[in-house]
Structure 1
Amino acid sequence: MFQSFNSATNPKDGPDRLKRLRDVLVNKGLDGFLVPRADAHQGEWVPARDERLAWLTGFSGSAGFCAALLEQAGVFIDGRYRVQVKNEVDLAHFTPVPWPETKLASWLIEALPDGGKIGFDPWLHVKDQIDKLTDALENTGIVLVQSTNLIDRIWDNQPSAPAQAIYPHPVEFSGEASETKRQRIAQILQDRGQMATVLTMPVSIAWLLNIRGSDIERTPVALAFAILHDDASLTLFTDTTEHDEELGRHLGPDVSFATNDEFGPTLDRLKGKVGVDKTTAAIWISDRLSKAEVEVDYASDPCALPIARKNPTEIDGARQAHLRDAVAMAELLAWLDGLGASPDITEIDVVKKLESLRAATNMLIDISFDTICGSGPNGAITHYRVTNDSNRTIKTGELLLVDSGGQYRDGTTDITRTIAIGPATDTQRECFTRVLKGMIAISVARWPRGLAGRDLDPLARFSLWQAGLDFDHGTGHGVGSFLGVHEGPQRLSRQSHVPFEAGMILSNEPGYYREGEFGIRIENLVVVQEAGEIEGADARAMLEFETLTFTPIDRNLIDLDLLTDAERDWLNAYHAEILVKITQNCSPSTQDWLARACAPI
């Protein structure tokens, strides 16, 4: 079982830990300390030793930070976590702060009218963040001070850093040899006039070298740094000692290994123009380079867009992974349906069942994130993770939201389905149908090349807006190829300016959440592709989405009066395609259920 149901944090621990931190602040002459959920690589998932935010506050979400001052402590969280944070922190000692609506600088200025010194760990913050915060605090008397990590000083029995084995990711799955990738990226360096670039994102390094690892859960990467030179040679910095001959042959003679202790001295020896991404690289790295005899070029990670543009092998792998995943999902939904309107099961039972069905494919490497299985009011917690303490029995009349995914060698999956347990109310059906209309609108969209996520995002929200409703998360995120389930730089959101390109895989997941009652989300993955020409139309390059996910949508939650004929046609065609693609691989009882679940409406 990959997923654990133990409670990772306890709100009761927070007050004492905050007091101990404040004692250290006084001894250091500081007025506050910033505690982000981050590690030195700025990835979404962090190893246990870097869960400092959760350890201090109790908040276990995947994004956020705490500004711990001598008299108050703000926990900054985005819209996904505004319900969750209230359940996880001691509200008498920690104050949830809506972010990014409330800017950290504004909050600090109000909290420290006479100024003060705010400490931060330069390994856990990027240059872009610190530069912007410094500018916003100019002439306020508040200054930022680099410091060793103060949480590490008070965290007893802090877990050790991971250093698991690194293994090859064969070209049969990657679709391109590492040598060719390095030559392509080296050409980007040459075009930029860079002699080298510093790579800090484990996903970039894993993609570039066609390697995978298991230093963190859910994302198959090694926590490493790398320096790529303009001749396509590369040095990989890692404390992993398990480098077998197969890995050496896979990487070739132009890739060398070094320890993390050698990373700083190697930066010191670089010459010429050196690239570093100030939005993802720790400011420690930027500062070290600025003291060396180099010209620091603050440019984007040269691997980011090439990773996002999946090649034909990766796209075909994604298709195969999703068909495999679809069988597991169909078996789960058929099992749930067979339990009737009073299933007498818990959220944990559903998570265990689904993981066992994915494991039965014999190709599951890991789940791609902890399954979100929220019934009734728990469904309204956008990133709810069921624990032994929060586990609920699923009840008649409730909605059950299941958001899950798998990591397979040929692809990464992510799917959400919301189902009715017993008869649905009119309100549940209206809200669900408006979410469905948004999901369909994205699915059928065609747009001129050059548009970005912010241009398409309103399509997913329009029907909800007409009823005065909305949701507080992006409509979609990029997805990797046996890599991160959340991948950039492309997104479907109001803030995304990155134009869509053919080969990009994204999620399409509008939702609606009513605190204390229910949550609704419908999610398919899609891949951007060139759109076919329309006879008589302008000869304008257009893009569209191909749907990768094939799992029935609960017809019991659909208000047919709210669907247009075109939307009904899309749904019927989608369900018909599901029958063709997965029926033969399902059990006989699930085949019978599929026939009913996918019947025309």
Structure 2
Amino acid sequence: MFQTFESHANPAQGPARLAALREVLAAEGLAGFLVPRADVHQGEYVAARDERLQWLTGFTGSAGFAIVLGAVAGVFIDGRYRTQVKGQVDLGHFTPVSWPEVKPADWLRQNMTGGVVGFDPWLHTAEEIGKLEAGLQSSGITLRSCENMVDRIWTGQPEAPMGRAFAHPDALAGETSAAKRARLADGLRKAGQTAAVITLPDSLCWLLNIRGADVPRNPILHGHAILHDDARVSLFAEAAKFDEATRAHLGEHVTLRPVAAFVPALRTLQGTVRVDKATAPLAVSMELEEAGLTVAFADDPCRLPKACKNAGEINGMREAHLRDGAAVVEFLCWLDARLPQSGLTEIDVVKALEGFRRATNALHDISFDTICGAGPNGAIMHYRVTEQSNRVVAQNALLLVDSGAQYLDGTTDITRTVAVGDPGDYARACYTRVLQGTIAISRVRWPAGLAGRDLDPLARAPLWLAGQDFNHGTGHGVGAFLSVHEGPQRLSRISEVPLEPGMILSNEPGYYREGEFGIRLENLIVVETAPDLPGGDAEREQLRFETLTFAPFDRRLVVAAMLAPGERDWLNAYHAEVLDKLGARLSPAALAWCKAACAPL
């Protein structure tokens, strides 16, 4: 099993660790300290060594941060985690704060009259610290970069990961590393920049056509890189991670150097150096400026090219999703046969699903810990089942299963919510509204140049009309055998990045009632150019989505009378395509089940 079920949250340990941190802060003359979830690479998924927020507070979510002051410690979480955090932290010592509604600068102003708040410049970006400093102007509160105070008190902190690096075949990458480096270096020269600092692990993996094993679930390598304007790359990573074959794959124009050589190398650069203020640690620009270099703040040069998948990557993702879709259908068939029995638990479901994916003989890893929430646990958006929380799948309720896989040719992420017995008319109406949002995103065409924020309302409109909504984005970017959460593309109220052909995103509206149930439906989709329509404006370029994910939705939860004719037609056509694409890959029992599950409404 890739997934384990031990509990990583222990609220009882938080108060003593908080007290120890406050003692250190007082000794250093600090009134507070920032404790982010991020590591030095600003990754969403971090190694055990970097789980500082979890170690201090008990909160295990993939986003958030804490601000520790002398009398109060705020844990800032977004809408996905407001139910989860209440069960993971000691509420007598840690105060959940709704973020981004409450800005950290405003919170500090409310809880301090002045003083110095420390932060580790390797764990925060220039953009983040700049916004915080701007919000604290004239408050008497100042920020000071310092060593990491959590590391100071963390006894038994795990060692840095040493996962194996390996080559990603050019056929699956769709382009050689040399071609990528030449293309990006040309952009640097045209911008008058001598080098670009790359700190995102998925960016350097994409650029060099390599993968790694330094964090669970995402095949990334921890390291930093400097791309020079002549297409050379200095890669800073532990040499022990690379065997001879992988070193040879890097080629003569990629120099592997120790991690400890990264800062000295920054100081020896010349000219204007490109740094992404939204993703690179503040320490990078601080070092460059101290060395007298000119820093050009601009996007990581890999992020947009990485997001716009080429034909080779898209073809790999299509095949990965067909393989995965067949495994999911086998699982759904198995689940349907066993749900009438009593005693099936969330852990049983998770183990079974991973087993069907393993049976493909192509599973590299799961792409994240499977979210399997029965009844009220489904309302915890990023719920992770443990031996302590494990719940029996009860009758007359909903079961939410959000899962994914890493295959060498692609990354998958799919959510289905299924009926267990009769969950009631209210749950069916809510499910149908969520499905209507899924269909709206799947069917839409839009003028080129629009961003994720422009499409996000389409997924919410059916819920809004019923006075309902959900507290997460409609979709996130997805990598090709890389991170299951990838930027900069998103379907979100806050996303201003224009959608471009080749971008892969999730389409996952939901609805949650705390203490009762959760509903989420998720397919992956890829942006493509839309063909001209008769009577349309030929000069106006439009885009649309191709659906990559194929598995039935639960027809037992669909209130057919709520669907408009176009929505019904889309659902019937989708189910016909599921059967057509997956039928030959299914066992006889799963094929029979799938035919019934995909019958037209």
Interval of TM-score (by shorter of Structure 1 and Structure 2): over 0.9
> 1:192 Cα shift?
1.3
Separation in 2, partners of 1:453, 1:582: 30
1:28 aligns with 2:28: yes
In the alignment, structure 1 residue 8 sits paired with structure 2 residue 16: no
User: Deviation of residue 465 (structure 1)?
Assistant: 0.2
Contact 2:396–2:421 (CA<8 Å) still a contact in 1? yes
Amino acid at match of 1:569: D
- Higher alpha-carbon deviation: 246-255 or 310-319: 246-255
Residue identity opposite 1:595 in structure 2:
K
Q: Deviations over 1:81-111 (max 9, x none)?
A: 0000001000000000000000101110110
1:431 equivalenced with 2:430 (yes/no): yes
- AA of the residue aligned to 2:596: R
2:351 paired residue number: 352
Matches within 5 A, 1:278-289: 278-289=277-288
Q: How does 1:453-464 map to 2 (within 5 A)?
A: 453-464=452-463
Between the aligned partners of 1:391 and 1:296, the Cα distance in structure 2 is 51
Correspondence for 1:59: 59
* Structure 2 letter corresponding to 1:53: L
Q: Judge conservation of contact 2:272–2:295 (CA < 8 Å) in 1.
A: yes
- Give 1:245-284 correspondences, 5 Å limit: 245-284=244-283
Q: Given that residues 342 and 395 in structure 1 are in contact (C-alpha distance below 8 angstroms), is that contact kept between their aligned partners in structure 2? A: no
Q: Is the 8 A contact 2:239 2:256 kept in 1?
A: no
- Confirm or deny: 8 A CA contact 2:374 2:398 kept in the other structure: yes
Matched position secondary structure for 1:270: coil
- What letter corresponds to residue 527 of structure 2 in structure 1? V
Secondary structure in 2 aligned to 1:516?
coil
CA distance in 2: counterparts of 1:260 and 1:434, whole angstroms: 50
The equivalences for 1:535-554 within 5 A come to: 535-539=534-538, 540-554=540-554
Q: Which residue in the other structure is 1:318 paired with?
A: 317
Cα deviation, residue 424, structure 1: 2.5
Contact 1:424 1:556 in 2 (8 A): no
2:331–2:356 contact (8 Å) kept in structure 1: yes
Structure 2 gaps, min length 5: none
8 Å contact from structure 1 (residues 575, 598) kept in 2: yes
Q: Tell me the equivalent position of 1:524.
A: 523
SS state of the match for residue 222, structure 1? coil
Distance across 2 between alignment mates of 1:240 and 1:527: 36
Residue type of the alignment partner of 1:298: F
- Which moves more between the two structures, 427-436 or 186-195? 186-195
Q: What secondary structure, in the 3-state scheme, does the structure 1 residue paired with 2:533 have?
A: coil
Taking the TM superposition and a 5 Å limit, the aligned residue runs for 1:96-495 are: 96-113=96-113, 115-495=114-494
Structure 1, unmatched stretches of 5+, are none
Q: Greater shift after overlay, 577-586 or 408-417?
A: 577-586
How far off is 1:244 after superposition?
Answer: 2.5
Contact 1:272 1:293 in 2 (8 A): no
Question: TM-score scaled to structure 2, two decimals?
Answer: 0.99
Q: Residue in 2 aligned with 1:590? A: 590
Cα distance per residue 1:363-392 (max 9 Å; x no partner): 111100010000100000000000011000
CA distance in 2, matches of 1:597, 1:261: 56
Deviation (angstroms), 1:191: 1.8
- CA positional deviation for 1:249: 2.2
Per-residue CA deviations over 1:40-76 (Å, capped at 9, x if unaligned) read 0001100001000000000000000010111110000
Task: Measure, in 2, the Cα distance between the counterparts of 1:41 and 1:140.
Answer: 31
2:240 alignment partner, SS class: coil
1:343 Cα shift?
A: 4.3
Q: Deviations over 1:538-584 (max 9, x none)?
A: 11111000000000000011111110111111111110111111111
Q: Deviations over 1:4-59 (max 9, x none)?
A: 10001200000111011111111111111110001000011000010000000000
Counterpart AA for 1:84: Q
TM-superposition CA deviations, 1:174-194 (whole Å, max 9, x none): 010000000011011112110
Amino acid at match of 2:294: E
Q: Give CA deviations for 1:288-325 in whole Å, capped at 9, x if unaligned.
A: 01111321101110111000110001001010000000
Match of 2:45 in 1: 45
What letter corresponds to residue 80 of structure 2 in structure 1?
Answer: R
1:494-527 per-position Cα deviation (integer Å, ceiling 9, x unaligned): 1111111111100000000000000000000000
Amino acid paired to 2:26:
V
Question: 1 CA distance for matches of 2:407 and 2:164?
Answer: 18
Instruction: Give the AA of the match of 2:417.
Output: T
Equivalent-residue separation in structure 2 for 1:300 and 1:395 (angstroms): 49
Across the aligned residues of Structure 1 and Structure 2, the Cα RMSD in angstroms comes to 0.8
State how far apart, in whole Å, the 2-side matches of 1:453 and 1:424 are: 33
Letter of the aligned partner of 2:45 in structure 1?
Answer: W
Correspondence 1:506 to 2:486: no
Code of the residue aligned with 1:586 in structure 2: it is: L
Q: Give the C-alpha shift of residue 132 in structure 1.
A: 1.1
In structure 2, what residue type is equivalent to 1:185? L
- 8 Å contact 1:181–1:208 — kept in the other structure? yes
| Runs of 4+ more than 2 Å apart | 242-245, 340-344
Q: CA deviation at 1:341?
A: 3.0
Shift of 1:336: 1.0
Does the aligned pair in 1 maintain the 2:35–2:67 contact within 8 Å?
yes
Q: Which amino acid aligns with 2:181?
A: R
Aligned mates of 2:355, 2:80 — CA distance in 1? 28
Distance between the aligned counterparts of 2:568 and 2:391, measured in 1?
Answer: 34
> Which residue is 1:92 aligned to?
92
Query: In 2, distance between residues paired with 1:300 and 1:79?
Result: 27
Measure how far apart 1:139 and its partner are. Answer: 1.2
Residues 165 and 240 of structure 1 are in contact (CA less than 8 Å); yes or no, is this contact kept in structure 2?
Answer: no
Aligned residue pairs total 600
User: 1:423 is matched by which residue type in structure 2?
Assistant: D
AA matched with 1:351: V
Q: Secondary structure at the match of 1:241?
A: helix
CA distance in 2 between partners of 1:132 and 1:309 (Å): 29
Q: Once the 2 structures are TM-superposed, how far is the Cα of residue 340 of structure 1 from its aligned partner?
A: 4.1
Equivalent residue letter for 1:158 = Q
Q: How far, CA to CA, are the matches of 1:188 and 1:421 in structure 2?
A: 55
SS in 1 for 2:217: coil
The SS at the match of 1:477 is: strand
Structure 2: which amino acid aligns with 1:600? P
Residue 153 of structure 1: how far off its partner (Å): 1.2
What displacement does 1:149 show? 0.7
**Contact 2:554–2:597 under 8 Å retained in 1:** yes
Structure 1 counterpart SS, 2:484: coil
